[in-house]
Amino acid sequence: MKLSIVVVNWNTASFLNDCLASIEPSNIAGGCELIVVDNFSSDNSVNIVKTGFPDVILLEEKANHGYAKGNNIGISRATGDYILTLNSDTIVSNSVLEAAMKKLEEMPGYGCLAIKLIGSDGLTQRSVRGFPTISGIFGDVTGLGKLFQFFDSYRLTRFDYEVSQDAPQPMGTFLLFRGSILKDIPGPFDEQFPIFFNEVDLLQQMQNKGYKCWYESSLSIKHFGGESTKQVKKSMVWESHRSLIRYFLKNLRGLARISLIFIIPVVWIGALIRARGFHEGFRP
């Protein structure tokens, strides 16, 4: 099998229908399998797949495991030389899929490829960030990143989306991986990051192994954005802040790790303000 596409779904029936309808697996050279992991949706998602897309491999879970574990379940079933993790709120074409695989095949030093995301408004979404650092998060929170490049290492406000280039950590909306590399990383998605920062951590682990990620500006898909998480916005605000702290605790060393004594309280206060109150966050 040339390509495996893993779509983790939770209550996005209409978007999932359009996403699956936009892909024609039988017309992809080398073969393609579509795997949908449904995280115990309460809408019509499962019926849509069963009745409208009988060739799709449907994995019906009995609980909402979150995005990381959902992807791990799908990846464990995947047999493709390339594995694409794809959000359900996207519209993709076969030509984009084949061009993305061809590009990654030509770049042996790269383990992952991302492409341009176009919103429903027709505008390019800012989908690439740097790996989180203390200075980068500080620059993002204070706005100093827009003024000084030193503080712009996380948000990457100067990233040019019209230029193909290295991309530290693109959004997980469309990430095409070499299957051999992905399956060589434990997890590969760390499930202590159930919703947020799981792809950030995965790309960090991939970079630690010497594989970079490429952003290809000539290829694009339509992305509606956050259709699952916006259903439970308050809990997602808290989960995103919790996952940032988990990422720091896992990946920071030396003085940067010591500085977390001061940073962690600030992150919690930020969650309290953004969510306008406390919430326990995501619980599977």
Rounded to the nearest angstrom, the gap between the alpha carbon of residue 19 and the centroid of all alpha carbons in its chain is: 16
Across residues 258-262, what is the average pLDDT?
91
Nearest to 50 by CA among 20, 10, 88: 20
174, 115 Cβ separation under 8 angstroms: yes
Is 178 in a helix, a strand, or coil? strand
Q: How far apart are CA 226 and CA 19, in angstroms?
A: 14
Cα angle value 200/203/209 (rounded, 5°): 145
Same-domain status, 213 and 94? yes
The residue from 192, 209, 227 where one domain ends is 227
Using one digit for the tens of pLDDT, what is the confidence trace for 50-78?
A: 999 999 999 999 999 999 999 999 999 99
- Phi (first) and psi of residue 98, to 5 degrees: -70, -40
The reported pLDDT for the residue numbered 271 is 86
Same-domain status, 191 and 60? yes
For residue 247, tell me if it sits in a domain.
Answer: yes
The reported pLDDT for the residue numbered 233 is 80
The reported pLDDT for the residue numbered 232 is 60
DSSP labels for 193-251?
Answer: SSSSSHHHHHHHHHHHTT-EEEEEEEEEEEE---TTGGGGHHHHHHHHHHHHHHHHHHH
Domain count of the fold of the chain: 3
Domain that holds residue 244: 231-275
Same-domain status, 166 and 178? yes
Using one digit for the tens of pLDDT, what is the confidence trace for 171-186?
A: 999 999 999 999 889 9
Same-domain status, 78 and 154? no
pTM over 0.85: yes
The reported pLDDT for the residue numbered 220 is 98
pLDDT at 248 over 90: yes
Nearest to 39 by CA among 88, 82, 5: 88
Nearest to 102 by CA among 162, 29, 34: 29
Name which of 227-231, 249-253, 255-259 the model is least confident about: 227-231
CATH code: domain of residue 106: 3.90.550.10
Where residue 231 falls among pLDDT bands split at 50, 70, 90? low
Same-domain status, 25 and 165? yes
Burial zone of 265 (CB within 10 Å; 0-12 exposed, 13-18 middle, 19+ buried): exposed
Same-domain status, 65 and 194? yes
The reported pLDDT for the residue numbered 217 is 98
Same-domain status, 115 and 194? yes
Q: How far apart are CA 30 and CA 9, in angstroms?
A: 26
Same-domain status, 73 and 172? yes
Where residue 230 falls among pLDDT bands split at 50, 70, 90? low
Q: How far apart are CA 117 and CA 51, in angstroms?
A: 29
Same-domain status, 136 and 88? no
74, 59 Cβ separation under 8 angstroms: yes
pLDDT at 36 over 70: yes
Same-domain status, 176 and 135? no
The residue from 227, 244, 267 where one domain ends is 227
Same-domain status, 62 and 84? yes
Q: How far apart are CA 23 and CA 33, in angstroms?
A: 10
Same-domain status, 80 and 166? yes
For residue 47, tell me if it sits in a domain.
Answer: yes
